[in-house]
Structure 1
Amino acid sequence: MWANGDAYERFMGRWSRRIAERFADGLDASPGLRWLDVGCGTGALSGAVLERWAPASLVGVDPAEGFLEVARARLADLGDTVRFERADAAALPLPDASVDAVVSGLVLNFVDSPERAVAEMTRVLAPGGLVAIYQWDFTGGMPLLELFWDAAVALDPAVAPLHEDAKFGHWTPAFLRALLTGAPGVAATSVVVEPIEVAAVFADFDDYWTPFLGGQGPGPSYAMSLDDARRSQLREQLRGALPVAADGTITLTLRAWKAVARTVGGAA
């Protein structure tokens, strides 16, 4: 489902970069820290952290080698400051208390145990370290995908369990707050959850639709599982549902929830 970094870039990468920039800009950090990016993907968040916070070092981990190749190519000129490794979020390849800040963007909803992943994130944090995550709001804040699945379900109600809201609708502010509050070593009173938004502007319908043909992610994988006739039906159902402006452009507001906290101890 997630393997081809270039296809992901065309589908979600352009928007995940923008939300990553907003996220990184809003963090309470400082230059010269040691960072870890869990589920770094193609390097959107790593790049935003590097640009905004000038870290002493940054390690990005992801299980998909195809994504890591894109990240390495994108940030190749940074030398020893950054490195990318293939690893599982539930078994991070770093010692205890070895980094000052751990971030993770748009990935924890795909891991088998987000609680285990967050426990690993806090394990590798130094006392007073920053842990910060963000996830798309699939209860009305991610129309790019929600409209796709609304159209798919309208044509075939049997696919309703695949809808992002059905799978990830529980990733609410309360869920994120509980996830961080329950993590080992987190100072419960430090947990803050707030929204971040970006505008996704598509040049025309094809700019929106074509990335779904890349097969990366649940929606595109479903689209490419259909025969030509059913895929054409889905395309036209979507065309009628999207808010197309007079000039042909499509603007969708995308919202994510950001959750940040500190581990118990001295300041990072």
Structure 2
Amino acid sequence: MTSSFNIHDAAGYEQLMGRWSRKLAPPFIDFAGLADGERVLDVGCGTGSLTFVLARNAALGEIDAIDYSPVFVEEATRRNADPRIRIRQADACALPFEDGAFDRALALLVLHFVPEAGKAVAEMRRVVRSGGVVAAAVWDHLGGMPGMRMMVDTVAGLGEAGRQLRSRYCFQPMMQPGEMKRTFAEQGLADVAETELMIRMDYQNFDDYWAPIAAGEGPLGKYVAMLDAAERARTDAAMRDAYEAGRPDGPRSFASVAWACRALVP
């Protein structure tokens, strides 16, 4: 298994995370850099959040995108109208490309869902030419995602299963300060730079926040889907209370931080 991300429906993923990935893509691209005529690889493209933002750069030569999930590949392919973009199903730990085929390999919000994240970084390094760039970003689940911590902290207060979810969620691969930077260096990449990227996740109301999780999308949705009826009702009520925080239901805004690393292939 090369991805621990739980996905059932592309529309549900868009509400859960795709819309926020699109907001994060521009600052990530600014950090990773681009140059005219380059061939770029998007590793773990999802529904195309990064892929299609890359395509706004008319001077790029080619864009290849891969994802492990057939649901994502089908949706990204359906959305694609750019002849420079090629999308296929593939494993981040066994990329189906020749050595040095790309100028840059980018992975946005992917490596923390790859159990063998170091192997994925090694593959990104392999398929990028000497002097090219490897870059990735992952959410800081422990200290930089208050909107999601609100859920895991709430369910942790409801029982042992919730505490186990919190432990898994907060300590996924590549999330601790310096962890991704060390992994890049261990895989032979040079001039490794690390930074933080921030966006805001703005929700219209509780349903806008909770609906995709309640429908079973993502790792938090997977937890909710396993609850029995009584636990589910208790969790729904506790989450509404946490979201509303004693005020009427309505808009809420959460700052969300991602770690990002960029490095050169020697």
> Normalized against structure 2, the TM-score is what?
0.91
Percent identity for Structure 1 against Structure 2: 34
- In the TM superposition, what is the alpha-carbon distance from 1:60 to its structure 2 partner? 0.6
- In the TM superposition, what is the alpha-carbon distance from 1:3 to its structure 2 partner? 4.2
Q: Which runs of 5+ in 1 are unaligned?
A: none
Runs (4+) of structure 1 exceeding 3 A deviation are 164-167, 243-247
Q: Give the 5 Å matches for 1:185-264.
A: 186-187=189-190, 190-242=191-243, 248-264=250-266
- Output one character per residue of 1:50-88: Cα deviation in whole Å (capped at 9) or x when no partner: 22464211111111111011111222x102x01111110
- In the TM superposition, what is the alpha-carbon distance from 1:112 to its structure 2 partner? 2.4
CA pair 170-133 structure 1, distance change in 2 beyond 3 A: closer
Instruction: State the distance in 2 between where 1:165 and 1:223 align.
Output: 14
Residue aligning to 1:144:
147
Contact 2:104 2:134 in 1 (8 A): yes
Residue aligning to 1:133:
136
Residue aligning to 1:116:
119
Residue aligning to 1:83:
86
- In the TM superposition, what is the alpha-carbon distance from 1:157 to its structure 2 partner? 2.5
- Is 232-241 or 195-204 further displaced after alignment? 232-241
Instruction: State the distance in 2 between where 1:10 and 1:258 align.
Output: 23
- In the TM superposition, what is the alpha-carbon distance from 1:246 to its structure 2 partner? 6.4
- Output one character per residue of 1:131-179: Cα deviation in whole Å (capped at 9) or x when no partner: 0000000122112221111111111123322225443276223101101
Contact 1:29 1:53 in 2 (8 A): no
Contact 1:24 1:52 in 2 (8 A): no
| Alignment of 1:176 onto 2:180 | yes
Aligned AA (2:105): V
- In the TM superposition, what is the alpha-carbon distance from 1:11 to its structure 2 partner? 1.2
Residue aligning to 2:110:
107
Contact 1:203 1:248 in 2 (8 A): yes
- Output one character per residue of 1:224-255: Cα deviation in whole Å (capped at 9) or x when no partner: 22233322211221222236676721111111
- In the TM superposition, what is the alpha-carbon distance from 1:5 to its structure 2 partner? 2.0
Contact 2:111 2:174 in 1 (8 A): no
- Is 157-166 or 12-21 further displaced after alignment? 157-166
Instruction: State the distance in 2 between where 1:45 and 1:103 align.
Output: 9
SS of residue in 2 equivalent to 1:155: coil
CA pair 170-115 structure 1, distance change in 2 beyond 3 A: closer
- Is 114-123 or 228-237 further displaced after alignment? 228-237
> Normalized against structure 1, the TM-score is what?
0.90
Contact 2:113 2:173 in 1 (8 A): no
Contact 1:105 1:135 in 2 (8 A): yes
Contact 2:111 2:173 in 1 (8 A): no
Aligned AA (2:203): F
SS of residue in 2 equivalent to 1:191: strand
Instruction: State the distance in 1 between where 2:61 and 2:254 align.
Output: 36
Contact 1:23 1:258 in 2 (8 A): yes
Instruction: State the distance in 2 between where 1:117 and 1:170 align.
Output: 12
- Output one character per residue of 1:91-134: Cα deviation in whole Å (capped at 9) or x when no partner: 00000011000000111112121111111100011110010000
SS of residue in 2 equivalent to 1:26: helix
| Alignment of 1:23 onto 2:9 | no
